[in-house]
C-alpha cells in the first residue's frame, strides 16, 4: 500500500534529521529518504511544511509532520515496540522537561559559541558550561539519559553529541572536557559508537568544510 509508506525529507548534515533516522532505526521502520537542497527547496517540502519550510519532515500514510520532537513523539505513539519514552506520566513529563531544557538552555548558547568570537563568545561559553553542568548532574550514575537503553532523551541530546566534537575542532575550544564533565563525555562516546548511531554519521571530511563555511558566514555577517 503506497500510503502506508514512510518518507523522510532531510538534509544529510542536519542534526535534527539524524534524530528521526535514529528513532526510525530503533523502531525498525523502513522508510524512503528524500534529500532536500535547502537553497532550492522542493515543491514537496513547501507543500508538506508550509509554515516553517524546514527539515525534517516525516510523511506517514500521506500525512506530513514537522518539528523533530513532535515527530519523535508521533513515531513513539504510532509504533509502540521498543518505546522511546517511558510509559509512566511522571517519567514522561521529566523526559519532556529535559528536552525543553536542551532546546532553550543548552542548544542556543552552544550555537552562539560556535558562530561568534571575542566577548560574545566568552559569554556564550559561560552560559553553555553552566547548563552542561546541570545536564552532567542529571546524567550522573546513568548509562544513558533515558536509563539503561537509548531513548528519546538520548536521541534528542544526541544531536549535540554529534555536533559538539565538530564545533570543538573548528573553534579549537573544549566544550565537553572529560575532566570536567566525565559523565557527559562518557555518554557522548558511548552514544556515538552505539550500533543505532554509528554508521548514520556523515563523514568528517565532508562535514567539516560545511560547518566551517557556516561559521564563516555568520562571522562575516557580524563584521
Cα separation of 219 and 223, whole Å? 7
Cα separation of 38 and 16, whole Å? 14
Of residues 29, 34, 44, 69, which one binds a second copy by CB under 8 A? 69
Helix (H, G, I), strand (E, B) or coil at 13: coil
**Stretch touching a second copy by CB under 8 A, among 33-41, 67-75, 106-114, 182-190:** 67-75
- Kindly state whether residue 70 participates in binding a second copy, applying the rule CB under 8 A: yes
Closest CA to 31 of 52, 45, 10, 16: 10
Considering only residues 117 to 136 of the shown chain, the ones binding a second copy according to CB under 8 A are: 134
Q: How far is the CB of 24 from a second copy (least distance, A)?
A: 15
- Kindly state whether residue 1 participates in binding a second copy, applying the rule CB under 8 A: no
Spatial contact of 144 and 191, defined as CB atoms under 8 Å apart: yes
Spatial contact of 92 and 39, defined as CB atoms under 8 Å apart: no
Of residues 6, 59, 65, 152, which one binds a second copy by CB under 8 A? 65
- The residue (of 73 and 197) whose beta carbon lies closer to a second copy is 73
Cell of 214: 557556516
- Kindly state whether residue 101 participates in binding a second copy, applying the rule CB under 8 A: yes
Pairing of strands 57-60, 6-10: antiparallel
- Kindly state whether residue 209 participates in binding a second copy, applying the rule CB under 8 A: no
**Stretch touching a second copy by CB under 8 A, among 94-102, 108-116, 175-183, 201-209:** 94-102
Q: How far is the CB of 179 from a second copy (least distance, A)?
A: 24
**Stretch touching a second copy by CB under 8 A, among 13-21, 93-101, 142-150, 193-201:** 93-101
Strand order in the sheet with 57-60: 32-35, 6-10, 57-60, 63-66
- Kindly state whether residue 92 participates in binding a second copy, applying the rule CB under 8 A: yes
Cα separation of 83 and 19, whole Å? 15
Pairing of strands 63-66, 32-35: unpaired
Footprint of a second copy (CB under 8 A): 51, 60, 63, 65-67, 69-71, 73-74, 77-78, 89-90, 92-94, 96-97, 100-101, 105, 134
Amino acid at each position: 500500500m503506497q500510503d502506508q509508506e514512510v518518507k523522510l525529507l532531510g538534509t544529510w548534515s542536519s542534526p535534527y534529521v539524524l534524530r528521526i533516522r535514529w528513532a526510525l532505526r530503533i523502531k525498525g521502520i523502513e522508510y524512503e529518504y528524500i534529500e532536500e537542497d535547502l537553497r532550492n527547496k522542493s515543491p514537496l517540502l513547501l507543500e508538506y511544511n508550509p509554515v516553517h519550510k524546514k527539515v525534517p519532515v516525516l510523511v506517514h500514510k500521506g500525512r506530513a509532520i514537522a518539528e523533530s520532537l513532535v515527530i519523535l513523539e508521533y513515531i513513539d505513539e504510532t509504533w509502540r515496540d521498543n518505546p522511546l519514552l517511558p510509559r509512566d506520566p511522571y517519567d514522561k513529563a521529566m523526559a519532556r522537561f529535559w528536552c525543553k531544557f536542551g532546546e532553550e538552555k543548552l542548544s542556543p548558547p552552544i550555537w552562539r559559541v560556535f558562530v561568534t568570537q571575542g566577548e560574545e563568545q566568552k559569554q556564550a561559553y559561560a552560559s553553555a558550561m553552566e547548563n552542561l553542568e546541570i545536564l552532567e548532574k542529571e546524567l550522573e550514575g546513568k548509562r544513558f539519559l533515558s536509563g539503561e537503553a537509548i531513548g528519546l532523551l538520548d536521541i534528542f541530546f544526541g544531536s549535540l553529541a554529534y555536533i559538539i566534537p565538530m564545533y570543538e575542532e573548528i573553534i579549537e575550544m573544549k566544550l565537553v572536557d572529560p575532566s570536567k564533565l566525565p559523565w557527559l563525555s562518557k555518554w557522548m562516546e558511548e552514544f556515538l559508537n552505539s550500533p543505532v548511531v554509528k554508521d548514520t554519521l556523515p563523514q568528517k571530511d565532508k562535514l567539516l568544510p560545511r560547518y566551517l563555511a557556516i561559521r564563516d558566514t555568520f562571522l562575516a555577517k557580524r563584521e
